[in-house]
């Protein structure tokens, strides 16, 4: 950040830092270089202290205003730093620079031309706490400027609209209020709450890209359940995530103690706990779960800290998966799909959830890779539990053959080759999406039933077989089939068709599980399987 500021100040007499960077410095969340004051007590005079409990965001947002023209200056600064440069709004002379700080965090710096005077600029902002400015100049110490009572708002941890027009002029601010309150542990002032509720329907006019950005930040907070419930209380949830809102009051099977809505929010909280650990934080509080995950710490963190799209890692998606995994239950109830043997689960809800998750993530303009992952996890989230229930008496872990089939169905096996996990190799072309399904299944089961009992430990021991298969095999897991289709057709006198396809899949599973290890063994197994097919056809079975 120092390099960015120095580069701009080298060409302008004064540069103003505005908005969240000033607020976060005062809260002690992050620091503006060269400005020693780091909490509101020194300014507010009310003696209130702010607990520094908010973790630094993964992205630092730095907003600057300065005398124009800004675009050519911003381009020069970006070239000097080796950062990316984007002209956000050429008419208003606004540019964005993107780079990384020394700690690896992404920095997004928006530089805008000062229109009119600074007071007008600050009064046009959203909330008092965001309408603070820090004037930087080469000749003087940094000067804090507060035109809107923002210091008092920061001191009292309150979000307050600057004027009636503040929210009306840009409806994304309705969602931003909820996001900031959750992120900073602020309250939303009562008149501001009333206006958000009155304007809730206008949020649909905001571009999908801006909604996506705010929703990602909201669900990335430490308490996503609080954020969702606040969206609902203010009338925003029905417009932003109507599929989640529709789960309210949807009853579930007897093994559940909550309706589908509260269950999904609780699963999201457990997913957030896993996310903390995957990003390098503490292990989950559940000691049974912590013991089960700890042996795979390095491998799971490498997988889940990988970015799917810019600024979006797999760990962050776990909360989204939790919220969307059961959305098909509401639609299934509406069309009376029926109930399964447990007396409550909507038949086919996984397929419906997959369609809904894919649609919602797509509407928010996430990348195609993210859309596919959301669809996959929703469709397969019940499969790990099914694999555990199918274990034979005496078996504690999911075996290699079943694990292979699971990862194959998750799209990690292509053209007869085993999956490539790419950990330590930089190769992520065929990622282990089944791991995302597995951790979602863990969060799902955590949120099911007031007491999990002995079955919880049994489930975790069983899915350890999935982790073991994924991470304990050869590093790249790329093995050509022992016998290809041409050799099999020649040996068995077969032509292309479904029989050949079934045999190839069966041989791949056998090879993956270690049941066959050479060509002769593979051919012998193929002969045996074909003979069984003929016997069954002859008996009419």
Question: Concatenated DSSP letters for 499-541?
Answer: HHHHHHHHHHHHHHHTS--SHHHHHHHHHHHHHHHHHHHHHT-
Instruction: Enumerate the CATH 1.10.110.30 domain ranges in the chain, comma separated.
Output: 164-240
Distance (Å) of CA 334 to CA 242, 276, 297, 497? 14, 36, 42, 40
At residue 418, the pLDDT reads 43
Pair 418, 474: CB distance under 8 Å? no
pLDDT of 332 strictly over 80: no
At residue 254, the pLDDT reads 61
What letter would DSSP give residue 127?
B
Q: How far is CA 319 from the centre of its chain?
A: 6
- CATH classification for the domain delimited by 2-153, as one of 3.40.50.720, 3.90.226.10, 3.30.460.10, 3.20.20.70: 3.30.460.10
Q: Three-class SS of residue 340? A: coil
Per DSSP, which regions of 423-478 are E strands? none
Task: From 118, 114, 137, 126, select the one nearest 179 (Cα to Cα).
Answer: 126
Q: What is the 3-state secondary structure (H, E, C) of 350-419?
A: HHHHHHHHHHHHHHCCCCHHHHHHHHHHHHHCCHHHHHHHCCCCCCCCCCHHHHHHHHHHHHHCECCECC
Pair 26, 39: CB distance under 8 Å? yes
pLDDT of 431 strictly over 90: no
At residue 275, the pLDDT reads 97
Pair 444, 274: CB distance under 8 Å? no
Pair 473, 513: CB distance under 8 Å? no
Instruction: Enumerate the CATH 3.30.460.10 domain ranges in the chain, comma separated.
Output: 2-153
Pair 516, 482: CB distance under 8 Å? yes
Stretch 530-536: mean pLDDT, rounded?
80
pLDDT of 293 strictly over 80: yes
pLDDT of 124 strictly over 50: yes
Residues with Cβ within 8 Å of 134's Cβ and at least 6 positions away in sequence, in order, are 16, 17, 18, 21, 22, 25, 32, 35, 142, 143, 144, 145
pLDDT tens track for 145-161: 999 999 999 999 999 99
When pLDDT is cut at 50, 70 and 90, the band that residue 370 belongs to is: very high
Choose the most confident range, by mean pLDDT, from 225-229, 464-468, 505-509: 225-229
Kindly compute the dihedral angle of the four CA atoms of residues 30, 32, 33, 34, in this order, to the nearest 10 degrees: -130
At residue 178, the pLDDT reads 98
Q: Three-class SS of residue 159? A: strand
At residue 194, the pLDDT reads 98
Cα dihedral across residues 453, 454, 457, 460: positive or negative: negative
Stretch 260-277: mean pLDDT, rounded?
96
pLDDT of 477 strictly over 60: no
What letter would DSSP give residue 85?
E
pLDDT of 423 strictly over 60: no
The per-residue pLDDT of the chain, averaged, comes to: 85
User: Is-cis flag, bond preceding 69, omega within 30?
Assistant: yes
Q: Three-class SS of residue 96? A: strand
Task: From 355, 178, 323, select the one nearest 241 (Cα to Cα).
Answer: 323
Top pLDDT among 431 and 377 is at: 377
Pair 315, 278: CB distance under 8 Å? yes
pLDDT of 471 strictly over 60: yes
Pair 150, 129: CB distance under 8 Å? yes
Q: Three-class SS of residue 346? A: strand
pLDDT of 380 strictly over 50: yes
Stretch 401-418: mean pLDDT, rounded?
69
Cα dihedral across residues 137, 141, 143, 144: positive or negative: positive
Q: 164-240 architecture in CATH?
A: Orthogonal Bundle (1.10)
At residue 236, the pLDDT reads 98
Stretch 308-317: mean pLDDT, rounded?
90
């Amino acid at each position: 950040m120092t390099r960015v500021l120095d580069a701009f100040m080298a060409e302008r007499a004064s540069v103003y830092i505005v908005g969240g960077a000033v607020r976060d410095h005062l809260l002690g969340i992050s620091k503006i270089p060269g400005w020693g004051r780091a909490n509101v007590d020194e300014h507010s005079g009310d003696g209130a202290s702010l607990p520094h409990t908010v973790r630094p965001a993964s992205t630092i947002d730095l907003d600057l205003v300065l005398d124009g023209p800004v675009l050519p200056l911003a381009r020069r600064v970006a070239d000097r730093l080796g950062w990316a440069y984007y002209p956000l709004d050429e008419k208003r002379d606004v540019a964005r620079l993107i780079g990384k700080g020394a700690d690896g965090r992404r920095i997004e710096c928006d530089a805008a031309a000062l229109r009119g005077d600074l007071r007008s600029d600050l009064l046009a902002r959203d909330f008092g706490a965001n309408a603070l400015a820090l004037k930087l100049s080469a000749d003087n110490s940094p000067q804090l400027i507060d035109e809107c009572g923002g210091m008092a708002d920061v001191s009292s941890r309150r979000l307050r609209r600057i004027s009636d027009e503040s929210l009306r002029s840009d409806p994304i601010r309705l969602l931003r209020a909820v996001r900031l309150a959750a992120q900073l542990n602020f309250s939303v002032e009562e008149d501001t709450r009333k206006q958000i509720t009155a304007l809730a329907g206008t949020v649909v006019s905001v571009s999908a890209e801006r909604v996506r950005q705010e929703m990602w930040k909201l669900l990335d907070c430490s308490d996503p359940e609080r954020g969702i419930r606040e969206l609902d209380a203010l009338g925003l949830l029905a417009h932003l995530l109507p599929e989640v809102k529709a789960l309210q009051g949807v009853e579930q099977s007897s093994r559940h103690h909550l309706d589908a809505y509260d269950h999904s929010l609780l699963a999201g909280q457990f997913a957030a706990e896993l996310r903390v650990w995957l990003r390098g934080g503490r292990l989950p509080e559940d000691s049974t779960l912590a013991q089960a995950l700890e042996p795979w710490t390095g491998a799971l963190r490498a997988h889940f800290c990988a970015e799917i799209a810019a600024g979006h890692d797999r760990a962050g998606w776990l909360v989204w998966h939790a919220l969307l995994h059961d959305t098909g239950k509401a639609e299934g109830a509406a069309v009376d799909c029926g109930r399964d043997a447990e007396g409550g689960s909507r038949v086919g809800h996984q397929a419906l959830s997959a369609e809904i998750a894919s649609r919602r993530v797509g509407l928010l303009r996430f990348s195609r890779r993210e859309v596919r992952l959301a669809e996959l996890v929703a469709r397969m989230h019940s499969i790990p539990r099914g694999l555990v229930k199918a274990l034979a008496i005496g078996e504690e872990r999911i075996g290699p053959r079943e694990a292979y089939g699971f990862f194959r169905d998750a799209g990690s096996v292509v053209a007869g080759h085993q999956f490539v996990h790419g950990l330590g190799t930089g190769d992520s072309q065929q990622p282990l999406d089944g791991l995302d399904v597995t951790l979602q299944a863990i969060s799902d089961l955590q949120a099911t039933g007031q007491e999990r009992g002995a079955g919880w430990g049994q489930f975790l021991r069983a899915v350890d077989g999935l982790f073991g298969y994924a991470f304990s095999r050869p590093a790249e897991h790329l093995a050509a089939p022992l016998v290809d289709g041409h050799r099999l057709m020649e040996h068995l006198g077969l032509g292309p068709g479904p029989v050949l396809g079934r045999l190839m899949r069966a041989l791949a599973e056998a090879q993956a599980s270690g049941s066959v290890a050479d060509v002769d063994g593979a051919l012998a197994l193929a002969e045996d399987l074909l003979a069984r097919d003929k016997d069954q056809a002859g008996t009419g079975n």
